[in-house]
Protein backbone atom coordinates (compact mmCIF):
# COMPACT_ATOMS: atom_id res chain seq x y z
CA UNK A 1 0.00 0.00 0.00
CA UNK A 2 1.39 3.46 -0.90
CA UNK A 3 1.94 6.11 1.76
CA UNK A 4 -0.89 8.61 2.21
CA UNK A 5 -0.22 12.30 2.79
CA UNK A 6 -3.14 14.27 4.22
CA UNK A 7 -3.04 17.94 3.33
CA UNK A 8 -3.24 20.43 0.51
CA UNK A 9 -0.46 21.21 -1.94
CA UNK A 10 -0.44 24.95 -1.20
CA UNK A 11 0.49 24.54 2.49
CA UNK A 12 4.22 25.01 2.93
CA UNK A 13 4.56 22.17 5.45
CA UNK A 14 2.73 19.77 3.14
CA UNK A 15 4.88 20.87 0.19
CA UNK A 16 7.98 20.06 2.29
CA UNK A 17 6.81 16.44 2.54
CA UNK A 18 5.79 16.25 -1.15
CA UNK A 19 9.23 17.53 -2.19
CA UNK A 20 10.86 14.79 -0.15
CA UNK A 21 8.63 12.09 -1.68
CA UNK A 22 9.49 13.29 -5.19
CA UNK A 23 13.22 13.44 -4.39
CA UNK A 24 12.96 9.83 -3.17
CA UNK A 25 10.96 8.83 -6.29
CA UNK A 26 8.38 7.24 -4.03
CA UNK A 27 4.73 6.69 -4.95
CA UNK A 28 2.18 8.27 -2.64
CA UNK A 29 -1.42 9.35 -2.47
CA UNK A 30 -2.29 12.96 -1.55
CA UNK A 31 -5.54 12.93 0.42
CA UNK A 32 -7.01 16.45 0.19
CA UNK A 33 -7.90 18.22 3.45
CA UNK A 34 -9.97 21.38 3.02
CA UNK A 35 -8.44 23.88 5.48
CA UNK A 36 -10.93 26.61 4.50
CA UNK A 37 -13.76 24.27 5.58
CA UNK A 38 -11.75 23.43 8.78
CA UNK A 39 -11.68 19.72 8.00
CA UNK A 40 -8.37 19.57 9.90
CA UNK A 41 -10.29 20.32 13.10
CA UNK A 42 -12.77 17.44 12.71
CA UNK A 43 -12.50 14.54 15.19
CA UNK A 44 -11.50 12.14 12.40
CA UNK A 45 -8.49 14.35 11.56
CA UNK A 46 -7.64 15.14 15.21
CA UNK A 47 -7.38 11.39 15.83
CA UNK A 48 -4.35 11.47 13.46
CA UNK A 49 -2.88 14.81 14.61
CA UNK A 50 -4.23 16.16 17.91
CA UNK A 51 -2.78 19.60 17.01
CA UNK A 52 -5.16 19.83 14.03
CA UNK A 53 -2.54 20.69 11.42
CA UNK A 54 -1.43 19.31 8.06
CA UNK A 55 0.54 17.35 6.96
CA UNK A 56 -0.15 13.90 8.32
CA UNK A 57 1.54 10.84 6.85
CA UNK A 58 0.08 7.35 7.05
CA UNK A 59 2.26 4.40 6.17
CA UNK A 60 0.28 1.24 6.95
CA UNK A 61 0.02 1.15 10.78
CA UNK A 62 2.27 4.22 11.27
CA UNK A 63 0.76 7.70 11.57
CA UNK A 64 3.10 10.70 11.72
CA UNK A 65 2.67 14.45 11.92
CA UNK A 66 5.28 17.28 11.98
CA UNK A 67 6.66 17.74 8.46
CA UNK A 68 10.34 17.45 9.42
CA UNK A 69 9.75 14.19 11.33
CA UNK A 70 7.95 12.92 8.25
CA UNK A 71 10.77 13.86 5.84
CA UNK A 72 13.31 12.22 8.15
CA UNK A 73 11.23 9.01 8.15
CA UNK A 74 10.83 8.98 4.35
CA UNK A 75 14.53 9.72 3.77
CA UNK A 76 15.56 6.90 6.10
CA UNK A 77 12.98 4.37 4.88
CA UNK A 78 13.95 4.97 1.24
CA UNK A 79 17.64 5.70 1.77
CA UNK A 80 18.62 3.63 -1.27
CA UNK A 81 16.16 5.33 -3.65
CA UNK A 82 16.35 8.68 -5.44
CA UNK A 83 18.40 11.52 -3.97
CA UNK A 84 20.47 10.72 -0.87
CA UNK A 85 19.01 13.36 1.47
CA UNK A 86 20.86 12.31 4.63
CA UNK A 87 24.36 11.16 5.33
CA UNK A 88 25.27 7.86 6.92
CA UNK A 89 28.71 8.56 8.37
CA UNK A 90 28.11 9.85 11.91
CA UNK A 91 29.85 13.21 11.54
CA UNK A 92 28.24 14.00 8.17
CA UNK A 93 24.81 13.01 9.48
CA UNK A 94 25.37 15.32 12.46
CA UNK A 95 26.07 18.24 10.10
CA UNK A 96 22.83 17.58 8.18
CA UNK A 97 20.98 17.52 11.49
CA UNK A 98 22.68 20.74 12.61
CA UNK A 99 21.59 22.73 9.52
CA UNK A 100 18.13 21.18 9.70
CA UNK A 101 17.89 22.53 13.24
CA UNK A 102 19.07 25.96 12.04
CA UNK A 103 16.21 25.97 9.52
CA UNK A 104 13.74 24.98 12.19
CA UNK A 105 14.85 27.32 14.99
CA UNK A 106 16.34 30.37 13.23
CA UNK A 107 15.13 30.56 9.61
CA UNK A 108 11.57 29.26 9.91
CA UNK A 109 10.31 31.44 12.78
CA UNK A 110 11.37 34.63 10.96
CA UNK A 111 10.31 33.74 7.42
CA UNK A 112 7.00 32.15 8.44
CA UNK A 113 6.07 35.29 10.42
CA UNK A 114 6.70 37.43 7.32
CA UNK A 115 4.71 35.05 5.08
CA UNK A 116 1.88 34.97 7.60
CA UNK A 117 1.64 38.76 7.67
CA UNK A 118 2.06 39.37 3.94
CA UNK A 119 0.17 36.42 2.45
CA UNK A 120 -2.12 34.79 5.03
CA UNK A 121 -3.40 37.90 6.86
CA UNK A 122 -4.53 39.65 3.61
CA UNK A 123 -6.31 36.43 2.55
CA UNK A 124 -8.26 36.74 5.81
CA UNK A 125 -9.28 40.27 4.77
CA UNK A 126 -7.09 41.88 7.46
CA UNK A 127 -4.18 44.33 7.35
CA UNK A 128 -0.63 43.06 7.91
CA UNK A 129 1.20 44.33 11.00
CA UNK A 130 4.13 46.32 9.59
CA UNK A 131 6.07 46.14 12.88
CA UNK A 132 5.98 42.32 12.90
CA UNK A 133 7.12 42.30 9.25
CA UNK A 134 10.03 44.67 9.95
CA UNK A 135 11.17 42.83 13.08
CA UNK A 136 11.20 39.48 11.30
CA UNK A 137 12.84 40.78 8.13
CA UNK A 138 15.68 41.98 10.31
CA UNK A 139 15.96 38.56 11.99
CA UNK A 140 15.79 36.82 8.61
CA UNK A 141 18.54 39.07 7.22
CA UNK A 142 20.84 38.04 10.06
CA UNK A 143 20.17 34.34 9.39
CA UNK A 144 20.83 34.87 5.68
CA UNK A 145 24.14 36.58 6.51
CA UNK A 146 25.21 33.33 8.18
CA UNK A 147 24.01 31.37 5.14
CA UNK A 148 25.89 33.70 2.78
CA UNK A 149 29.14 32.94 4.55
CA UNK A 150 28.46 29.18 4.78
CA UNK A 151 27.41 28.93 1.14
CA UNK A 152 30.65 30.66 0.16
CA UNK A 153 32.45 27.56 1.47
CA UNK A 154 30.13 24.71 0.45
CA UNK A 155 27.57 24.47 -2.36
CA UNK A 156 24.76 23.43 0.02
CA UNK A 157 24.23 24.06 3.71
CA UNK A 158 25.45 20.70 4.98
CA UNK A 159 28.22 20.21 2.42
CA UNK A 160 28.57 19.82 -1.32
CA UNK A 161 25.41 17.85 -1.95
CA UNK A 162 21.72 18.55 -1.48
CA UNK A 163 20.18 17.21 1.73
CA UNK A 164 17.09 17.56 3.90
CA UNK A 165 18.76 20.62 5.44
CA UNK A 166 18.31 22.45 2.10
CA UNK A 167 14.97 20.87 1.18
CA UNK A 168 13.27 22.06 4.37
CA UNK A 169 13.82 25.68 3.29
CA UNK A 170 12.15 25.44 -0.09
CA UNK A 171 8.39 26.06 0.40
CA UNK A 172 8.62 29.15 2.60
CA UNK A 173 11.44 30.62 0.49
CA UNK A 174 9.26 30.10 -2.59
CA UNK A 175 6.47 32.16 -1.01
CA UNK A 176 8.94 34.72 0.32
CA UNK A 177 10.30 35.33 -3.19
CA UNK A 178 6.76 36.38 -4.21
CA UNK A 179 6.83 39.26 -1.71
CA UNK A 180 8.44 42.62 -2.20
CA UNK A 181 11.39 41.50 -0.04
CA UNK A 182 13.05 39.05 -2.43
CA UNK A 183 16.08 41.36 -2.34
CA UNK A 184 17.03 39.77 0.99
CA UNK A 185 17.89 36.66 -1.04
CA UNK A 186 18.88 38.26 -4.35
CA UNK A 187 21.33 40.73 -2.78
CA UNK A 188 23.38 37.88 -1.27
CA UNK A 189 25.13 36.20 -4.23
CA UNK A 190 25.76 32.83 -2.56
CA UNK A 191 22.25 32.61 -1.14
CA UNK A 192 20.82 33.65 -4.53
CA UNK A 193 22.79 30.94 -6.38
CA UNK A 194 21.71 28.37 -3.75
CA UNK A 195 18.06 29.34 -4.10
CA UNK A 196 18.22 29.23 -7.92
CA UNK A 197 19.72 25.75 -7.66
CA UNK A 198 17.04 24.54 -5.20
CA UNK A 199 14.15 25.79 -7.28
CA UNK A 200 15.46 24.27 -10.51
CA UNK A 201 15.35 20.71 -9.15
CA UNK A 202 12.89 18.35 -10.89
CA UNK A 203 11.15 17.57 -7.57
CA UNK A 204 10.48 21.27 -7.02
CA UNK A 205 9.09 21.64 -10.54
CA UNK A 206 6.59 18.87 -9.71
CA UNK A 207 5.47 20.49 -6.43
CA UNK A 208 5.51 24.20 -7.33
CA UNK A 209 2.31 24.21 -9.44
CA UNK A 210 0.43 23.41 -6.19
CA UNK A 211 1.92 26.45 -4.41
CA UNK A 212 -0.63 28.89 -5.71
CA UNK A 213 -1.44 31.55 -3.14
CA UNK A 214 -1.93 35.02 -4.63
CA UNK A 215 1.42 36.84 -4.56
CA UNK A 216 1.98 39.60 -2.02
CA UNK A 217 3.89 42.71 -3.04
CA UNK A 218 4.90 44.38 0.22
Ligand X SMILES: N[C@@H](CCC(=O)N[C@@H](CS)C(=O)NCC(=O)O)C(=O)O
**Length, in residues, of the chain:** 218
Restricting to residues 46-105, which ones interact with ligand X according to CB under 6 A?
A: 52-55, 66-68
Q: How far is the CB of 13 from ligand X (least distance, A)?
A: 4
How many residues touch ligand X under the rule CB under 6 A: the total is 12
In sequence order, the 6+-apart residues with CB closer than 8 A to the CB of 14 are 5, 7, 8, 54, 55, 67
> From residue 23 to residue 42, what is the string marking binding to ligand X with x (rule CB under 6 A)?
------------x----x--
What are the start-end ranges of the H helices in the chain? 12-23, 43-46, 67-77, 90-102, 108-115, 121-123, 130-150, 164-167, 170-176, 183-186, 189-198, 202-207
Percent helix, strand, coil in the chain, to 5, is 55, 10, 35
Q: How far is the CB of 169 from ligand X (least distance, A)?
A: 13
Of the pair 54, 110, the CB lying nearest ligand X is at 54
Of the pair 66, 135, the CB lying nearest ligand X is at 66
Establish if 169 lies at the interface with ligand X (CB under 6 A). no
Establish if 13 lies at the interface with ligand X (CB under 6 A). yes
Stretch that binds ligand X, among 10-18, 24-32, 82-90, 198-206 (CB under 6 A): 10-18
In sequence order, the 6+-apart residues with CB closer than 8 A to the CB of 164 are 20, 68, 71, 72, 75, 85, 86, 96, 100
Of the pair 151, 174, the CB lying nearest ligand X is at 174
Q: Which residues bind ligand X (CB under 6 A)?
A: 11-13, 35, 40, 52-55, 66-68
Amino acid sequence: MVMKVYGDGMSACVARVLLCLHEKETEFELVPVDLFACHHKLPSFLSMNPFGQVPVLQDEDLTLFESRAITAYIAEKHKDKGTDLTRHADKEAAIVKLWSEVESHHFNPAISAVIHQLIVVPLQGKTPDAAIVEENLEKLGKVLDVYEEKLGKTKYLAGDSYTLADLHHVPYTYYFMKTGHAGLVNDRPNVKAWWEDLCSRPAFLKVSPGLTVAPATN
